[in-house]
Structure 1
Amino acid sequence: MGITVTTLAERPELIDDVWNMPDSWPEFMDHDPIAWSFFGVLGAAHRDFAVVATDDESGEIIGHGYSFPFSRALPGREQYPDNGWDQVLMWAASDLRKGVEPDSVSAVEISVHAAHQGKGLSGILLAALRDNAKAKGFTELVAPVRPNGKHLEPRTPMSEYAFRVREDGLPADAWLRVHVRAGGRIVRVAPASQTFPGSLEQWRTWTGLPFDASGPVEVPFALLPVHCDVEHGHAVYVEPNVWVVHDLL
C-alpha cells in the first residue's frame, strides 16, 4: 500500500474527512472540556502543523496527526507541566490569542484509521510531525504521550509503568517505544494530563457501566480507575500521560 503524507494546509479539502475518520478512541475520550474549548480553534489556525496520511490507490484517509506551536520561554513554563495535554492546549491557545512567538511544538494527537492499525502508521505520522516541526525551524517536538498498554494495568502507578524497559533498554510500552526509537526521550510523568468530569448518567452512557457504587471504577481503555461519587452524582477521570521530548537539532 502506497502512502502519501501531507499537511492539512496543503490539503484543506480533507478536513471534514479527518474529523469523520473511524478510529479506536473510547467514547469517554471525546469529553475533555479543554479539548472542546480549544482544539477546534487551534486546529483551524495551525493546519500547517497537522499531517494527514492517505492511501495512494483509494485516496482514503488512513491516519492523521495534530501538533500545535507554543512558547516555553514565558515565565512559569520552564518545566513540562503536570497538567500535560490540557495545559499545553491552554498555553497554545493563549499564545495564539496574544500573538506570542512560539519556540516549541507539541504533538497532541496521532490517530490511525480503525481498519489500518498495526501497520506502523503511527510511527510514520510521528516522523512526519517531527520533520514538519524541524522544517519550520523548531528545535524540539514535545508530546504528552498516552502509553497504549497502560489500560491493561489501571492500578499500576504511571510513575512505575512509564519507566519500565525491556532487556534491550527500550521502553516496555509499545507506543513509548515508538517515540524513543524515533529519537525521543522520556522526561517525566504528567499526573493530571487530561480531566474528564461527568454526571453518573453521562458516564453510564459513555461506558455502559452502572456507576452505582462510590469508589474507583475500572473502565475499559482508561489508564487509571475513574473516581465515582454516587452521593454527589458525578464521576471524574484524571488521566496521566508521559512527557517525551524529541530534540530536532
Structure 2
Amino acid sequence: MTTTSEYHVYTAQSRPDLWPDWDNESHPFCSIWPKFFEGDLTDKFYLSKTRNYDELRKFQFFIVRQSPTEPEILVAFAQSIPFFWPELEAIGGRTGLSSHPEVLQSLPDGGYDTILSRGVEQCHARQGLPPLAAPFTDDQARDCTRKCNNRPNALSALSLAVLPEWRSKGLAEMMLGCMKAAARETGLEVLVVPLRPTRKVDFPNVNIADYMFWTKGFGPAQGPVGPILSGDRERVVNGKPCLPFDPWLRKHVSLGGKVVKVARKSMAVEGDMNHFIDLNFIDDVAYTYI
C-alpha cells in the first residue's frame, strides 16, 4: 500500500471490497469509459477475470481519499496485467533492448485485446488449466504465446481512470508509479502501455502514425495540419525533445515513456450499423513502454 497524507493506494488483493460494481450503472466509474467499449467481446470476457487470480489481483490498483471527518471515497482505479513476452526473453531482457530496439515492434498489433487475452490465458495455463476461450480476434489466433505457462517478464497497463472532480492532482502519475513499482518488485522488466490518445478523436482524418508524433506547441491551431506538423517528430528545443501534442501521450513520455508503435486493431468492437453511427468514432491505439 502507498500512502500520502490524503490519498491511499490499495490493490485488489488487499482491498477486494473496493472493486467497482460494473453492473451498477449509477457507479461513477461506469460512465467514464466510452460507450463503444461495450461492444468489445475480449474486454467483456477477460477484464473482470483479473480479479479471479491471486497473481493478478496485486496488479489492480485503487486510490482512496481518506479524511478523519468524511467517509472514504474511491477516486481512481487502474488495471494492469503481467504477461510473458518471448521476444524480450530472447534478447536477454530489458538490457537487450538497447542493441535490439526492433524487439519493441514485436508487441502484438492487436494491442489491448491481445495483451489482455494473453495475460489472462497465460495465468490460467500456469494453473495447469485448459484455455478459457477460443480467440476472439485474428490477432489473438496468431498469438502462439497465449497458451504459454512461462513466468511473466513484462507488465502491461490496461486502464486508468480518475473521477473528473479529482483530476489534475497527480493521481494518474501516482497510479503509473504504482505499476512501475509493482513491476520492479515482481521482477517484470518492462512496463508497456497500449493507450488511446485522448485528443485523437478530435482529428479523425489524421493518420495516427502522424498524430502520435505531433509535438506540443505545433498543433493544428497554428495552421493547416499537414504543412505545420510534417517532420516534427525529431524536433528539439533547448536541447530537449519536444513533448507530444496529445495530453495522454505527453503524460507518459514526461514520466519516462517512449512511443513505440501503432496498434491499429487494438479493440475489436462489434455492433449493428446504428451502433456505429451513434458512436461516430475513429479510434487507434499507440504503444508506449517505460
TM (normalized to structure 2)? Answer: 0.69
Higher strand share: 1
SS of corresponding position for 2:180? helix
Q: Which runs of 5+ in 1 are unaligned?
A: 210-218, 225-238
Question: How far has the Cα of 1:74 moved from its partner?
Answer: 6.7
SS of corresponding position for 2:261? strand
1:28-68: CA deviation from partner (whole Å, max 9, x where unpaired): 22321110111111233211001100012231100011000
The equivalent of 1:233 in structure 2 is none
- Do the aligned residues in 2 keep the contact of 1:21 with 1:61 (CA within 8 Å)? no
**1:89 corresponds to 2:86:** no
Counterpart-to-counterpart distance in 2, 1:50 and 1:84 = 19
**1:11 corresponds to 2:15:** yes
Counterpart-to-counterpart distance in 1, 2:87 and 2:289 = 18
Counterpart-to-counterpart distance in 2, 1:110 and 1:30 = 17
**1:66 corresponds to 2:84:** no
The one-letter code matched in structure 2 to 1:50 is Q
Quick one: which of 19, 44, 67 aligns to 1:36? 44
**1:135 corresponds to 2:135:** no
Counterpart-to-counterpart distance in 1, 2:199 and 2:50 = 29
The equivalent of 2:271 in structure 1 is 198
| Comparing 8-17 and 143-152, the one that deviates more | 8-17
Counterpart-to-counterpart distance in 2, 1:245 and 1:97 = 25
SS of corresponding position for 2:173? helix
Question: How far has the Cα of 1:203 moved from its partner?
Answer: 4.2
The equivalent of 1:185 in structure 2 is 258
The one-letter code matched in structure 1 to 2:58 is D
1:115-138: CA deviation from partner (whole Å, max 9, x where unpaired): 323333222211111112112221
Distance 1:151 1:199, change over 3 A: same
The CA RMSD over aligned residues, in Å, is 2.3
| Comparing 163-172 and 124-133, the one that deviates more | 163-172
1:124-167: CA deviation from partner (whole Å, max 9, x where unpaired): 21111111211222111101011111111111111011111235
The one-letter code matched in structure 1 to 2:86 is A
| Aligned pairs, number | 216
The equivalent of 2:66 in structure 1 is 56
Counterpart-to-counterpart distance in 2, 1:243 and 1:43 = 24
Counterpart-to-counterpart distance in 2, 1:196 and 1:18 = 19
- Do the aligned residues in 2 keep the contact of 1:21 with 1:113 (CA within 8 Å)? yes
- Do the aligned residues in 2 keep the contact of 1:18 with 1:64 (CA within 8 Å)? no
1:202-223: CA deviation from partner (whole Å, max 9, x where unpaired): 446xx3x7xxxxxxxxx2xx3x
SS of corresponding position for 2:184? helix
Distance 1:98 1:74, change over 3 A: farther
TM (normalized to structure 1)? Answer: 0.79
- Do the aligned residues in 2 keep the contact of 1:64 with 1:111 (CA within 8 Å)? yes
Question: How far has the Cα of 1:85 moved from its partner?
Answer: 0.4
SS of corresponding position for 2:108? coil
After superposition, residues 117-128 of structure 1 pair within 5 angstroms as 117-128=167-178
Which one has the largest radius of gyration?
A: 2
SS of corresponding position for 1:133? helix
Percentage of identical aligned residues: 25
